[in-house]
Amino acid sequence: MNKQNQLESIHNSGKPYIIYKSRKGFDLFTNFSKKIILNNKNINSFLSRRYKSKSKNTDLFIGFFGYELLNNLINIKIPKQKNINFPKGIFYKPEKKINLSNNFKYKSQNSLKNDDFKININKDSYTKIFNKFKRKIKSGETYQIKICTKYKKKSRINALDFFCRLSKSNLAPEAFMVKDNDYSIISCSPENLITKEGSLITTKPIAGTVKKDRGMNKSKALNYFRKNIKETKEHNMIVDMERNDLSRICEVGSVKLSRTKIVEEYKDLFHYVSLIRGKLKKKIKNIDIIKAMMPGGSVIGCPKINTLKLLNKQEKENRNIYTGSFGYIKFNGNMRFNIIIRSILNFKNFSEISVASGVVVDSNAQHEFNENYIKAKALIDLFK
Amino acid sequence: MIYIIDHNDSFTHNVVHQFSLYDKVECDNYNRINTSNLNKASVIIFSPGPGNPKNYPSTSKIYKKFKGKKKMIGICLGFQQILFCEGAKIIEQKKIYHGFQSNIQVTNNKSLFQKGKKFRVGRYHSLKLKEPFKIKNFDITMRCLESKVAMAFENDKDKIYGFQFHPESFLTNNGNLLIKKILSA
């Protein structure tokens, strides 16, 4: 059976599987022998348990940590929120791995019935929250904060069809999809939060995005970012914050900027990116790394703890997977995790898309509200 | 040993790494102070952090207790905290500097640094020192070239120093040299 047929047969069999972007194409993981549903109690033992490496390419756990779980891990309590009771985190032990090329194909037969997405915060309430946070910036309680809005609608989607089309329009380096019996996630996340190999760790924050309009090329994009004071300041702040988070777990003097403020080109847009690396201290365990780095700062704001508290006090609805992390932990201790953004969660016949954009002192409510819509639109368009 | 008091900031561990280049460093959150480390330390650092000095009364107490007995250094909020304890007013500024790179200059000949010398530094502050400001033995020694806002003070008699900017930021050139000089003062 060729790989294309294999993919279709796995999908049609209805068994759960996961696809994650690899360097050359995609990795598909399936035949799960274990499924661990995480909660605030078992996460510590899950992260501390050690497994014997049998040097198989399936010696790993793959899955995600939701936002609430990550807050709890660093002792930040989330007040009671509207909740769809989606699991706080799930990890799977695969027994089978298949490499897919970047051009895998799938076409769904079903047509979509399309009602409109509803947004949970309208422009007026958004502006109110925006102004409130702006006052918090003036008084120094936060330096940058990301307001999250959520688009929701009733729908049943074919996850593979969506993921296939999404990957065609936007081949993101941290894209993934999870298909299980009662939920699915598709994502074109561009942002790697943790790559750990041996004692080396890197993080690659993105702060700054510009659309590839006519005439925009890589060097013009760089020029745009350099001249744009707001983007530059936001990026600087994230770089210092990520240096800080790495410094908690890395040896003194080892935290270095490998790439500072470079432009990366994607199909429809340019990102302003830095790459920071460090050498882990000897006694550091994976749980320490996760606590130091998650939730990823670039999608929260700065300083992390106070900003998380301000956000949690404001938000009436659980973020679920949004701004959590998806990735894997290998039995040999190596890890790769992204930040879950630009994703669709499908659960109980509902699809939800969350987006956020930043309030800094010189941003404006109208602009950021629209920015949120632009970010969501690429995903909303998949429903057409 | 250097004891760093963390005010829940996302830059504190950059400060820890910077000071660790010169001495052993211990760091605790401001509401989980280790008294034995605090007493043992030869230098106390007040970290940056969100909010206003009046939000951190326990840090003010530590400052007052050890003034004149140990070398103390404040960074950003820590800078404001020390001045606040000395009776200064800390106020909001019209233009806010978060993630901003500024040129500053040594403006006082009592400074450990040469008068007229310029530095390029990273800034993250909403609030600033209200001036005129006059407290015995405290001199404002550096200012922002553009806005003239106070960027450093030195009290060489009691060995108390403060930076409104962030010597540990990747936006600050030669930040390590600044710290080295203050530590050996």
Q: What are phi and psi of A233, to 5 degrees?
A: -65, -45
B61 in contact with A at a CB cutoff of 8 Å? no
Q: Kindly state whether residues A328 and A374 are assigned to the same domain.
A: yes
Instruction: Please say if B146 is a catalytic residue.
Output: no
Cis omega (within 30 of 0) on the bond before B132? Answer: yes
Q: Kindly state whether residues A150 and A263 are assigned to the same domain.
A: no
Q: In this structure, are residues B42 and B14 in contact, taking their beta carbons and an 8 Å threshold?
A: no
Q: Check residue A34 and give its pLDDT.
A: 96
Choose one of A234, A265, A281: the last residue of a domain. Answer: A281
- Is ipTM over 0.95? yes
Choose one of A260, A281, A302: the last residue of a domain. Answer: A281
Q: Check residue A372 and give its pLDDT.
A: 86
Q: Which residues contact A128 (CB under 8 A, 6 or more apart)?
A: none
Q: Check residue A211 and give its pLDDT.
A: 82
Closest CA to B52 of A141, A298, A15, A180: A141
CB-CB: which of B16, B51, B169 is closest to A240?
A: B169
Q: Check residue A373 and give its pLDDT.
A: 86
Kindly give the confidence (pLDDT) of every residue in chain B, 185 residues in length, as a single tens digit, with 9 standing for 90 and above. 999 999 999 999 999 999 999 999 999 999 999 999 999 999 999 999 999 999 999 999 999 999 999 999 999 999 999 999 999 999 999 888 899 999 999 999 999 999 999 999 999 999 999 999 999 999 999 999 999 999 999 999 999 999 999 999 999 999 999 999 999 98
Residues of chain A with pLDDT below 50 are: none
Please report whether residue A359 resides in a domain: yes
Name the domain count of chain A.
2
The pTM of the full predicted model, rounded to 2 decimals, is 0.95
CA dist., res. A193 & res. A124, Å (int): 33
Q: Kindly state whether residues A147 and A163 are assigned to the same domain.
A: yes
Residue A343 belongs to domain spanning:
3-199+311-383
Q: Check residue A113 and give its pLDDT.
A: 63
Please report whether residue A75 resides in a domain: yes
Q: Check residue A111 and give its pLDDT.
A: 63
Domains detected in chain B: 2-183 (3.40.50.880)
Q: Which residues contact A320 (CB under 8 A, 6 or more apart)?
A: A66, A67, A84, A86, A345, A347, A352, A354
Closest CA to B166 of A348, A376, A241, A295: A241
Structure tokens at A321: 């997977």
Interface test with A, best of B7, B8, B10 (most A CBs within 10 A): B10
Tell if the CB–CB gap between A138 and B96 is shorter than 8 Å: yes
A138 in contact with B at a CB cutoff of 8 Å? yes
Instruction: Please say if B85 is a catalytic residue.
Output: no
Closest CA to A286 of A66, A43, A87: A43
DSSP letter (8 states) at residue A299: G
Q: pLDDT, tens digit, for every residue of B88-123?
A: 999 999 888 899 999 999 999 999 999 999 999 999
Q: Kindly state whether residues A213 and A181 are assigned to the same domain.
A: no
CA angle A357, A363, A367 (to 5 degrees): 65
Instruction: Please say if B7 is a catalytic residue.
Output: no
CA dist., res. B116 & res. B123, Å (int): 20
